[in-house]
Structure 1
Amino acid sequence: MTRRSPAPPPRRTAAPWRRPGRRRAPSARRPVRTVGPPRCPSGQGLGTRVPVDWAWRGDAPAPHHRSGSTGPPPLSSNTPRAALGGALAAALVAAGIAASPATAASKPPKPVKVRSTPDNVVYGGFPIDRRPVSTVKPGQVVTIDTLSSVGITVPDVSPVQYFGKLGVKASDVLPDATAFWKTLPKRTKYAGVHTLTGPVDVAGAEPGDTLEIEVMDLQTRVPYGVNLTAPDSGVFSTTYPGFRPGDAPLRIPTAPADAIAGLAPDVRQHLLRTGRSKRKGSRGKEVVFFARGVEVPLHKFMGVMAVKPADGAYVGYTPGAGPYPDGVQSSVPPGPYGGNLDVRDLTVGSKLYLPVFQKGAGFYTGDSHSVQGDGEVSGTANEQSLVGTFRFKVHKRRSTGPYAEDAKNWMVMGIDHDLDRALKLSVRRAVKWLVDHKGMTEAKAYSFASIAVDFTISEAVDRTQVVTGRIPKDVFFRSGRVKAGALAERARTTKASVPIARHDHGH
């Protein structure tokens, strides 16, 4: 019997990225920095390695914010600063190092619920001496119920009667709407028209700070809303700044003489039911069933988000108007405190930045809309009760806001009784923002505003008018400040072969 020799051991081959002619794996090329002391002999990993490009200094200012700037706080950068914390935590866990109680991440506080009970709702203004209905910590999630004021502020007509005339069943009328209506005879009414939930105080907020309001979620509370029209409402009102003697009103009929609360369904009051579409192409999406064959996608947002105003500072219904008789800022005209901005961009995923004037900030919200076009030209949107979920942060520097942002844009608002001046203020704020946060000169910022920033009329019917400038995020290739001339270099692809005529006038 012939004895076979044992088979040779299998030949070891290099890893694919180390074979001749093959590139090394990207992770193998990345430089690393040792976090903590050198490795222990036991290999228990005190020298866990973390890629250098994750090593953000947590106390360093955002690269696009100028030190000492008086502008708003740094808005979201394209660079995820939170990556360092997550990377370090993952590396330590992988290395088997248990976090001590002193260094373990604190458990997030429980969410807070604020209901729109009569005690939690204020009517028509932003009183600065009102006690908070709740106090939350920065980063704590708070869910706030709101009530649309339509149908619940007529003293002689209950919400059940009002909405019943529009075809709403009594069971679809919110109990807290009826509870609020019952308090009207003894309730303080300020100069405005909105029912607002609040104030919610944020611990640690002090005058001179900036409050960041993140809109996390918005949901409808009832399957309907109401839009109001009249021959002289909205931009056809005699109080509209653009009104001139002799302007003809719209030909909208008046309500019957015997109509309760001036109700004229589908003429003065338009009940707009909402729900899920069954139409091909938009099946399952939330819409307004406006008319047969007409569905309008929902775009929910809070028309009013405000902080308590400054002492003795008022925004009146007309330029130069003095304090209100009751000394409380009306909820109608928006101003530095935010308020009735009616900016439809402030939906889920957006952030609003407001200057803090009072201790705790004092956040009010309401005037909830399920959908509105830019301008809100009839004077109302689809006024529909919503529940909103928010998260607050406090920045220890003053903004000259309001400012906002969402995933696509940074937003600046110009507010004035004159629409032309509101546009000018919005442009000026856009230029200042680009100078402060992107390092442009005023000349470059003004040029950029003219070619890349969209300015739209967000609201034109609340005595002071709002023009919003949307600064696009996706045109900036790198986070941080733009070096002088960088935009011009990117735009210059070839040298012009012929002279280009200069035009200093508008087109």
Structure 2
Amino acid sequence: MRLLAALCLAFGLSTTVLAAGHDNAEAKMKNMPTAKAANASFPLQPLTDKPGTVSIPGMKGTVYYVPSTTETVKWGYLPNANDKPVITMPSGGTVVFDTLSHEGLIEDQGRDPARYFASKGVPANLILKDAIAITQSGIPHDFAKDGPHIVTGPVAIEGAEPGDVLKVEVLAIVPRVPYGVISNRHGKGSLPGEFPETPKPDADASVASPEKFRNVSVFTPIRKAKGGHWEGVMATKNGTEVTFKAAPFMGVMGVAAASTEPVHSVPPGVYGGNMDINDLGIGSTVYLPVFVKGGNFYTGDPHMAQGDGEVALTALEHSLRPTFRITLLKKGDKQIPSASGSLELPFGETRDHWIAIGLNPDLDEAMKSAVRESLRFLTDVLGMERAIAYAYLSAATDYQVSQVVDKTKGIHAMIRKEDFKKVTAEKNNVAID
């Protein structure tokens, strides 16, 4: 009942409206101002059923589009050297993806989003058609073995070769529905064995009896706050509203690995993948080293909000529509954040920070990796002596735990651009007071 009340808060409805049946709820929701997304009303159903070019109001030029279909997704794995692109686009092109959250779709939730979300009070017209199509398809997915993520792509960039770098700019991210899910599963998260505080899974737990997994999933509506930003809605035991600011980002952004072996979707790697860095949202840039011809960019694991660490296991998992501009930087291009002219690890950038990324199954080693990558950037690109750079990092740079729940743990450095404004001005031959 508390979940139903929270959903009603998000939609501006009374609990009696939803309890009375979907027809009345659907009629009311069509006119709810809180059920609006930027540029479109909820839900954002697929634009087409095949990759191609589309016309989107407010977006000029050629816009490429990739829906999530049985032909364009991998469930639980990332593209590798064997995967062919679903579409090829020129450097500098703009591409829109319709991505799906796996939450509400996987086996411990019944692999039936229509039934699962209906049980939370969501009317049928607010359930995504592509979510239903994929879960009803024959796409194999082993809950115990495979990763949970539905990964969409890959998209090839004309002329990309190993040693080059893809510059991926996150132009926009729009929620497709006004709800998401946060899950904690047995044996996973930052406190395995302590949470969830439910009995262990039954031996015969299956998609036919999802309740026997005894995992905990928290259905979480979103709404527009007075300040214009999105917020998630929860409640205390007595029903008092709890809200938190939401900032959408893509948990998975990456390029195809050079391997021909299956690449599990959970641990991130040199190819990017499931990095779960919440700073890489709208307005950010990700630099990804290319390992195969075309680069083959993909995305997935859409998040509406995530705290550093992602401690329960998942963030607020939430189907999103991201828009990217992808530019090919040939090896040696001065825009690549490296003196070698290429990259060995992904690298991030926002308006105010450079983001050096460290990855390792051991959190201590992930920290070392992030520090080493920070040192490389400060010495390679910004011309500091190593000892001075090390001292600077100690005095002035925050190291944040990206996530601790994806086997390979992540720590990233937030290096302030403001501190280097004279250095960058000198490099760009710009006068500064």
Q: Is the 8 A contact 2:167 2:288 kept in 1?
A: yes
Percent of aligned positions that are identical? 38
C-alpha separation in 1, matches of 2:116 and 2:252 = 24
Q: Which residue of structure 1 aligns with residue 115 of structure 2? A: 161
- Matched position secondary structure for 1:400: coil
C-alpha separation in 1, matches of 2:119 and 2:329 = 48
Residue 371 (1) aligns with residue 305 (2) = yes
Q: Is the 8 A contact 1:304 1:340 kept in 2?
A: yes
Residue 284 (1) aligns with residue 239 (2) = no
Q: Which residue of structure 2 aligns with residue 318 of structure 1? A: none
Q: How far apart are residue 191 of structure 1 and its match?
A: 3.3
Q: How far apart are residue 419 of structure 1 and its match?
A: 0.3
**Matching residue within 202, 220, 227 for 2:175:** 220
With normalisation by structure 1, the TM-score equals 0.64
Does the C-alpha gap of structure 1 residues 469 and 256 become closer, same or farther in structure 2, counting only changes over 3 Å?
A: closer
Q: How far apart are residue 167 of structure 1 and its match?
A: 2.6
C-alpha separation in 1, matches of 2:390 and 2:139 = 53
Q: Which residue of structure 2 aligns with residue 410 of structure 1? A: 354
Q: Which residue of structure 2 aligns with residue 78 of structure 1? A: none
Q: Which residue of structure 2 aligns with residue 229 of structure 1? A: 184
Q: Which residue of structure 1 aligns with residue 132 of structure 2? A: 178
Q: Is the 8 A contact 2:249 2:278 kept in 1?
A: yes
Does the C-alpha gap of structure 1 residues 368 and 444 become closer, same or farther in structure 2, counting only changes over 3 Å?
A: same
- Moved runs in structure 1, 4+ residues, more than 4 A? 185-190, 255-260
C-alpha separation in 2, matches of 1:174 and 1:361 = 30
Q: How far apart are residue 471 of structure 1 and its match?
A: 0.5
Letter in 2 for 1:262: E
Q: Which residue of structure 2 aligns with residue 111 of structure 1? A: 63
Q: How far apart are residue 154 of structure 1 and its match?
A: 2.6
C-alpha separation in 2, matches of 1:296 and 1:263 = 31
**Matching residue within 219, 226, 244 for 1:296:** 244
Letter in 1 for 2:387: A
**Matching residue within 130, 140, 146 for 2:93:** 140
**Matching residue within 120, 124, 137 for 2:72:** 120
Does the C-alpha gap of structure 1 residues 201 and 297 become closer, same or farther in structure 2, counting only changes over 3 Å?
A: same
C-alpha separation in 2, matches of 1:202 and 1:175 = 29
Letter in 2 for 1:218: I
Does the C-alpha gap of structure 1 residues 307 and 165 become closer, same or farther in structure 2, counting only changes over 3 Å?
A: same
Does the C-alpha gap of structure 1 residues 253 and 153 become closer, same or farther in structure 2, counting only changes over 3 Å?
A: closer
Q: How far apart are residue 232 of structure 1 and its match?
A: 4.2
Q: Is the 8 A contact 2:185 2:313 kept in 1?
A: no
C-alpha separation in 1, matches of 2:327 and 2:87 = 16
Does the C-alpha gap of structure 1 residues 182 and 427 become closer, same or farther in structure 2, counting only changes over 3 Å?
A: same
Q: Which residue of structure 1 aligns with residue 156 of structure 2? A: 201
Q: Is the 8 A contact 1:304 1:368 kept in 2?
A: yes
C-alpha separation in 2, matches of 1:122 and 1:256 = 27
Q: Which residue of structure 2 aligns with residue 130 of structure 1? A: 83
With normalisation by structure 2, the TM-score equals 0.75
Q: Which residue of structure 1 aligns with residue 327 of structure 2? A: 393
Alignment of 1:7-156 (within 5 A): 109-128=61-80, 129-154=82-107
- Matched position secondary structure for 1:476: helix
Q: Is the 8 A contact 1:440 1:482 kept in 2?
A: no
**Matching residue within 334, 338, 341 for 2:275:** 341
Letter in 2 for 1:220: P
Letter in 2 for 1:370: M
Q: Which residue of structure 1 aligns with residue 430 of structure 2? A: none
Letter in 2 for 1:116: S
Does the C-alpha gap of structure 1 residues 432 and 186 become closer, same or farther in structure 2, counting only changes over 3 Å?
A: closer
Does the C-alpha gap of structure 1 residues 428 and 187 become closer, same or farther in structure 2, counting only changes over 3 Å?
A: closer
C-alpha separation in 1, matches of 2:83 and 2:182 = 31
Alignment of 1:451-466 (within 5 A): 451-466=395-410
Q: Is the 8 A contact 2:89 2:155 kept in 1?
A: yes
C-alpha separation in 2, matches of 1:125 and 1:264 = 22
- Matched position secondary structure for 1:234: coil
Q: Summarize deviations over 1:441-465 as a string: whole Å, max 9, x none.
A: 1011111111111101001110000
Letter in 1 for 2:147: G
Residue 269 (1) aligns with residue 217 (2) = yes
Q: Summarize deviations over 1:82-102 as a string: whole Å, max 9, x none.
A: xxxxxxxxxxxxxxxxxxxxx
Alignment of 1:246-261 (within 5 A): 249-250=194-195, 252-254=197-199, 260-261=209-210
Q: Which residue of structure 2 aligns with residue 82 of structure 1? A: none
Q: Which residue of structure 1 aligns with residue 371 of structure 2? A: 427
- Matched position secondary structure for 1:477: helix
**Matching residue within 314, 320, 337 for 1:380:** 314
- Matched position secondary structure for 1:443: helix
Q: How far apart are residue 186 of structure 1 and its match?
A: 5.6
C-alpha separation in 1, matches of 2:121 and 2:216 = 15
- Matched position secondary structure for 1:191: coil
- The CA RMSD measured in Å over matched residues stands at 2.5
Q: Summarize deviations over 1:469-491 as a string: whole Å, max 9, x none.
A: 111001123243889xxxxxxxx
Q: Summarize deviations over 1:315-349 as a string: whole Å, max 9, x none.
A: xxxxxxxxxxxx21111100000000000001000
Q: Is the 8 A contact 1:230 1:252 kept in 2?
A: no
C-alpha separation in 2, matches of 1:163 and 1:263 = 18
Gaps of 5+ in 2: 1-59, 332-341, 428-433
The number of residues matched between the two structures is: 347
Residue 440 (1) aligns with residue 384 (2) = yes
- Matched position secondary structure for 1:235: coil
Letter in 1 for 2:73: V
Alignment of 1:482-493 (within 5 A): none
Letter in 1 for 2:194: P
C-alpha separation in 2, matches of 1:386 and 1:299 = 12
Q: Is the 8 A contact 1:153 1:184 kept in 2?
A: no
**Matching residue within 467, 471, 484 for 2:415:** 471
Q: How far apart are residue 293 of structure 1 and its match?
A: 2.9
Q: Is the 8 A contact 2:286 2:347 kept in 1?
A: yes
Q: How far apart are residue 134 of structure 1 and its match?
A: 1.2
Deviates more, 1:121-130 or 1:463-472: 121-130
Q: Which residue of structure 1 aligns with residue 337 of structure 2? A: none
Does the C-alpha gap of structure 1 residues 157 and 478 become closer, same or farther in structure 2, counting only changes over 3 Å?
A: closer
C-alpha separation in 1, matches of 2:393 and 2:294 = 35
